[in-house]
């Protein structure tokens, strides 16, 4: 199964989803990219993933352009901006899904509050992508 996860910046939500899918089953080919890739990972996303034992620090923030000509079983958008841009994706895609999440990078307030927002979104991503994995991937193996 070859899966591409899209977000706008490819620094946070798509990276967490990428990390979770690979942790569920390392035989999956999972990639993530951004419609306007930032070129770097959000360090708070790396931190909250590490807290639960998933290391995404080696991931790269890549432009969607790298993947336009590939064949995909699933292309999944995780934020509104990427979902709106998704129709411009010209790759060969068997299934398109949108599973949206708030951007914890937008959180304002104390360090504790910001950290709690990253944890909240991380946990929502984990739940949604575990459900996706169990219903769309695992049952079709």
* pLDDT recorded at residue 121: 96
Residue 98 belongs to domain with CATH number: 3.40.50.2300
Task: Tell me which residue of 17, 11, 122, 54 sits closest to 3, measured CA to CA.
Answer: 17
Given 86, 99, 125, 137, the catalytic residue: 86
In a domain, 139, yes or no: no
* pLDDT recorded at residue 120: 97
pLDDT digits (tens, 9 = 90+) for 75-108: 998 986 555 555 456 668 899 898 989 999 999 9
Given 7, 41, 49, 121, the catalytic residue: 7
Give the pTM.
0.92
For the question of residue 79 being annotated catalytic, the response is: yes
DSSP state of 79: S
For the question of residue 86 being annotated catalytic, the response is: yes
Residue 120 structural domain: 2-134
Work out how many domains the chain is built from and give that number: 1
* pLDDT recorded at residue 87: 45
In a domain, 117, yes or no: yes
What span, in angstroms and rounded, lies between the C-alpha atoms of 47 and 118?
9
pLDDT digits (tens, 9 = 90+) for 7-41: 888 999 999 999 999 999 988 999 999 988 989 99
Given 30, 79, 82, 121, the catalytic residue: 79
């Amino acid at each position: 199964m070859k899966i591409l996860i899209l977000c706008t910046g490819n620094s946070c939500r798509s990276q967490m989803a990428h990390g979770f899918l690979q942790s569920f089953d390392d035989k999956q080919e999972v990639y993530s990219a951004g419609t306007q890739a930032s070129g770097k990972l959000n360090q708070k996303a790396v931190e909250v993933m590490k807290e639960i034992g998933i290391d995404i620090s080696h991931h790269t923030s890549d432009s969607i352009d790298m993947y336009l000509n590939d064949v995909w079983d699933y292309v999944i958008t995780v934020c509104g901006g990427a979902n709106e841009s998704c129709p411009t994706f010209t790759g060969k895609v068997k299934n398109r899904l949108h599973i949206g999440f708030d951007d914890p990078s937008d959180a304002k307030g104390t360090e504790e509050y910001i950290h709690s927002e990253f944890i909240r979104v991380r946990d929502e991503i984990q739940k949604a992508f575990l459900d996706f994995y169990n219903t769309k991937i695992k049952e079709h193996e």
